[in-house]
Amino acid sequence: MWETKGRQKMQIIRSIRKMHTVARQLAARGKKIAIVPTMGALHEGHLSLIRRALKEADVVITTIFVNPAQFAPHEDLAKYPRDEKNDVAKITATLGRRKSAGIVFAPKAGEMYPDDFQTWVDVAELTKPLEGARRPRHFRGVTTIVAKLFNICRPDVAIFGMKDYQQAVVLKQMTRDLAYPIKYIIAPTLREPDGLAMSSRNRYFNERQRWEAVCLYYALQSARSMVKSGIVDVTKITKEMRAVIRATSPTAEIHYIAFTDFDTLESVTAIRRNTMCSLSVKVHGVSLIDNMRMG
């Protein structure tokens, strides 16, 4: 049923019990499973992760689940874009001749969080800075849902994108701490031709707003240019990044610009080897994140 030959269609699974059964059957047959967790509204960045997964495994499970546990009450859970039919079509096209090697796991919220749900997964330190400081309990929702997806789908490989850099680092720590026997891959950020990091939230913008959203990329590029010219003081670099953002999007709200160690997320005052710059900026009501390695 899951061979790569023939005309079989990709499966869409909605129940945990069914996904458990299928995962066990695949493992019994010696099939290597890769998982690509998503919240749907798929774009080319997501599809690049699926293509990477095809190189790593016999079967690719793409999960589509808008996880309510990672949204605060004031955030955009209700309006978060949902288009499962189109998502499935994109996954099918990406899999191509190997569409029978693809599975979509798309449970409902009540399936993943029944009324008596009480258990949460916390990564203590890595969740404190950056997005964790701005969005308390956000990462608790992320780590809990991904731990559940790992338990349900039993992957051999998990693939996440660098755009959500802190999330990727947090989940890597969780994978190691909980001893999941999973090969963990962080794939590069995909960008639009003008540099804007691909994101499901980009569809919120009109043409003018979309142009202003590139301010994050411009700021990161400015920072990298300063580092290449020999400037390593993060205070000076941050000041210039703020100016670049304001010049492109005068009404933008800068949540943070941070320079941290790639692995530990500890703040640094001067650019050194393994330094990442991360920023979060609200552009016309839409919160965007991006990042770039500086040294």
Strand partners, 37: 63
Does 46 qualify as catalytic in the annotation? yes
* 3-state SS assignment for residue 88: helix
Which pair of tokens denotes residue 122?
């916390």
Phi, psi of 279 (to 5 degrees): -145, 155
What's the rounded Cα separation, in Å, for the pair 9 and 225? Answer: 48
Catalytic residue among 20, 46, 74, 138: 46
Residue 147: CB atoms within 10 A of its CB come to 18
Cα–Cα distance list, 26 to 19, 40, 130, 167, 228 (Å) = 11, 24, 39, 28, 49
What's the rounded Cα separation, in Å, for the pair 202 and 78? Answer: 16
Contact in structure between 54 and 4 (CB atoms under 8 Å): no
Contact in structure between 124 and 150 (CB atoms under 8 Å): no
CA nearest to 290, candidates 194, 167, 197, 173: 197
For the annotated catalytic residues, the residue numbers are 46
